A and B are shown apart, each in its own frame.
Chain A
Amino acid sequence: MILRHISLLIGKEILIVRNAYFSSHKKILSTLGVGAVFFLIMLAVISSLRRGFNSLLEAIPPEMAETAMVSLVAVIFLWLTAIIFLSVVMDSQKKFFHTADLELLMATPVSPGLVFSFRFLIFVLFSSTTLSQLLIFGFGPLFALGRVVGAGIDFYLLALPVAYLYLIIPAALGILLIMILLKFFSPKGIFRIAGLFNIVMTVAWIAFITGDQGRILAFIVEKLGEWDFLFYLLRPLDAASEITMGLMGFEISLWRPFGELSLFAIGGLGIAVYIIRKLYYPIYDRLKSVTVQEKKYSPGVKKTGFQPGVVLTEWKMAIRNYEMAQGALGMGTMLLAYFFVLFSIKPEGGVLPFLLNLGIVGFCTGTIVSIFLTPAAILEDQEVRKRQYWLLKVSPINGKTAVNLYWQSFFLPQLILGIPFLALGHWMGGNGLRLFFPAVLVFLVMQTTNSFLAYLVEYAGFAWGNNVSPIIRFLRDFAPILFYPVFLFFLGLGYFYDRLAFLVFLHSMSQQTVLVLSGGLLLILIILILVPGRKKTAEFWERMEL
């Protein structure tokens, strides 16, 4: 019976994947198309990383090459560990506990233990949380290293499976951590712990960046020497690195580390499944009741209070959603760390790195605001957005008003939230304005691009929503990002006019004049996009079907 249930559960997952990506010729072609685009992007990433790794290795003596390679492999795995661990911790509440089909499965004769174990295995082994991170952050760096050392075909065939086997461990640990925390704390409590953790990490980071780094590193090494038991925890990482080195062609035995890694992965999975069978239901049950209790609590609600309208209502809903606040805090911490890196290291890399830096800051600011103000469900599922908009759609509000309200909801808080960033920027390097305005401008452009894409998607005859083809979905989600370098390029011209040969005609002007010119050019371009973009979005709203 258990085998039958397992096969049914597996069958359900296969059907979901088949229906989503392979149910028709059109979908198969789209899936292959997206795969090909991803592959091409990865080839570009590999090529770029290979150049970086090569120049790094050329800069060190040949006798140190193997040590450097070991460090590089270990850093790649450490990076993957951190990414997977944090992603799992962040995603588990949403994807592991709060899933729509759980109540259905719990009402069937399938044993709850099997349901929980299966859900755990699917989440760890096959969810987008782990697989996409592995492909995005593992595929490129590992294959680039392979190219650098001229690895054989066995490396390319086995490097990703080895990384996959290794990543089971941090993924399982991430879920276990969140389950243990949920056993003792409410989701809100965990949010507070995460917040505290973020603050501690940020302070530690600031101390590291601004302090005597050599002394701090010496202190860490000394402490690690005292607490050498910690290395046992990192043993799987060592094993994965050793296998990867062995596959690259270095003289390292493969069997021992492979045995160790398999033991850790399978043993870890087994222990995790055992704990999950014991803890899942009480936590799931508690989460449900906690959700209801928390939702019944309505902070600061006035009986006959000030109700100024749609924009404030949108904010109110967003601010009450602590899951969004958690994401915003995480992004905020990342941004803070990024600021410190940017201003402490002071890279002298020229125009491109500078533009990329500005782009990242703009993207982070925009994302923080989006996360903070847009319910996660809406970001992920257009259907939810549609369902939420029915009230606005049936009320006497025309397309232009709806677009205005939507924009106000997004832009005003961005401006308000931007003030602390501005202050922070000035405090750290006097570059607050330089960082803040591109962020605002880029976010404006991004919103307009989204509306254009929405229009194009509809105009091209594709259904808006989850039925849209993967290629269009890919374009819709990622094309706006392309605007960052394009638009920031104009500001870059203003800053670096004296270094760019083709701008020789500007060399007689002062930098302020050139900055005003380039800023003005950027503004004109944005207006040229915003005005028709707003019109098209309003038209789209009028014709949108819910």
Chain B
Amino acid sequence: MNSALEIKGLKKNYGNFTAIKGIDLEVKRGEVFGFLGPNGAGKTTTIKTCAGLLQPTEGNISICGFDLQKQGSKAKKNLGYVPDDPYLYEKLTGREYALFSARLYGENGQKLTSRVEEYFELFEMKEDMDKLIGGYSRGMRQKTAIISALLHRPALLMVDEPTANLDPKSARLVKDIFQNWKDQNRTVFMSTHVMEIAENLCDRIGIIHKGEILAVDSVEKIKGAEGSSLEEVFLQLTGAKDSEIREMINELMEDTD
């Protein structure tokens, strides 16, 4: 069994609106997979459905070979999830939240306690880990959510916009952690709008637009032989032409003047 995540025919409707139109995707163990797409393309819906927060209208999702619908607990045990705007319990401290989260996954003991301290130290939050989350900045909340998702060492880490709210140093740290995760034959599945991250960190990327996957391949193959940048390819695939965008901006600026 080599797949960390397997999506087959996934469809998700919100009332009459179809957000995901029957996508298939396989993410292997030991790879960093980037999920790209414009706003409203279906990235977060896909990730939330894979995390069990939304029910698929059609299709199947397997995490490390466990069917999310039929073997939910086993599948989720292998999953770590960081939402794009994590809501954390404001009346818990960072340390308490991290311990609470890890214990939900069956982690326990002195080893866990030390691991929590190590992670907070790594993210330069050791001094703040015993303060209530209610007093944290957005960046600190994001770091706490990432720490909590790593503690049970999941085989598949799903992260929605991993570097949102993070300062450059912390963003770099997160990238290094993802690299390290991959070296341990674990998988990272992340959505991002930052092309630089996708280009430098991801082994493969998938581009989703209007609920359909337009391309899945390695960064090099998607960029093609012409030497285009990933940004240009992305804009072309998602229907936004660089020259048209510039023209619209110019018109708007003239109107403003």
Which residues of A approach B to under 8 Å, CB–CB? 291-292, 295-298, 301, 303-304, 307, 309-310, 313, 316-318, 320-321, 375, 387-388, 390-398, 542-543, 545-546
Contact = CB atoms under 8 A, between A and B. Distances in A.
A287 B81 CA distance: 34
B242 to A, nearest CB: 33
Contact of A301 (B72, B93, B100, B134): B93
Nearest to B12: A545
Interface stretch (B52-60, B162-170, B182-190, B245-253): B52-60
B210 interface: no
Contacts of B74: 396
Contacts of B52: 393-394
Interface string B142-157: 0000001000000000
Nearest to B69: A542
A387 B93 contact: no
Contact of A398 (B72, B130, B134): B72
Nearest to A317: B91
Q: Which residue of B110, B132, B148 has the most chain A CB atoms within 10 A of its CB atom?
A: B132
B105 A388 contact: no
B72 A313 contact: no
Given A394-B51, A545-B54, 9 more contacts: A301-B95, A304-B110, A391-B148, A394-B53, A394-B76, A396-B73, A396-B74, A396-B106, A546-B48
B44 to A, nearest CB: 12
Interface stretch (B2-10, B82-90, B193-201, B233-241): B82-90
Contacts of B134: 291-292, 295
A309 B51 CA distance: 22
Contact of A320 (B76, B100, B132): B132
A393 to B, nearest CB: 6
A545 B130 contact: no
Nearest to A291: B134
Contact of A296 (B72, B100, B131): B131
B132 A390 contact: no
Nearest to A314: B89
Nearest to B92: A317
B21 interface: no
A546 B55 CA distance: 9
Interface residues of B, number: 38
B135 A296 contact: yes
Contacts of A321: 91
Contacts of A317: 89-92
Given A396-B73, A396-B77, A545-B53, A391 B104 contact: yes
Contacts of A395: 76, 101, 104-105
B79 interface: yes
Contacts of A388: 87, 89
8 contacts: A295-B131, A295-B132, A296-B131, A298-B131, A303-B130, A317-B91, A396-B74, A546-B53
B99 interface: yes
Contacts of A394: 51-53, 76, 79, 81
Nearest to A292: B135
A318 B76 CA distance: 28
Going nearest first, the 3 A-B pairs with the smallest beta carbon separation are: A295-B134, A395-B104, A317-B91
B172 interface: no
B87 A304 contact: no
B77 A304 contact: no
Contact of B103 (A295, A304, A309, A320): A309
A301 B87 contact: no
A390 B76 contact: no
Given A317-B91, A391-B101, A304 B113 contact: yes
Given A301-B93, A301-B130, A395-B105, A307 B54 contact: no
B96 A307 contact: yes
A17 to B, nearest CB: 24
Contacts of A542: 72
A316 B104 contact: no
A393 B52 CA distance: 7
A292 B132 CA distance: 9
B12 to A, nearest CB: 10
Interface in B102-154: 103-106, 110, 113, 130-132, 134-135, 148
A88 B81 CA distance: 41
B99 A307 contact: yes
A138 to B, nearest CB: 37
A397 B104 contact: yes
A390 B104 contact: no
Which residue, of A375, A394, A397, has the highest number of chain B Cβ atoms within 10 A?
A394
Contacts of A375: 91
B99 A295 contact: no
A358 B73 CA distance: 43
B116 to A, nearest CB: 9
A391 B83 CA distance: 10
B4 to A, nearest CB: 16
A394 B81 CA distance: 7
Q: Which of B86, B99, B104, B110 has the most CB of A within 10 A?
A: B104
A396 B104 contact: yes
A303 B96 CA distance: 9
Contacts of B104: 310, 391-392, 395-397
A316 B101 CA distance: 15
Nearest to B89: A317
B96 A393 contact: no
Given A295-B135, A316-B91, A396 B105 contact: yes
Contacts of A295: 90, 131-132, 134-135
A375 B89 CA distance: 11
A49 to B, nearest CB: 43
Nearest to A391: B101
Nearest to A397: B104
Contacts of A307: 96, 99-100, 103
A312 to B, nearest CB: 10
A51 to B, nearest CB: 49
Given A301-B93, A310-B104, A390 B135 contact: no
A320 B89 CA distance: 12
Given A317-B92, A396-B77, A298 B51 contact: no
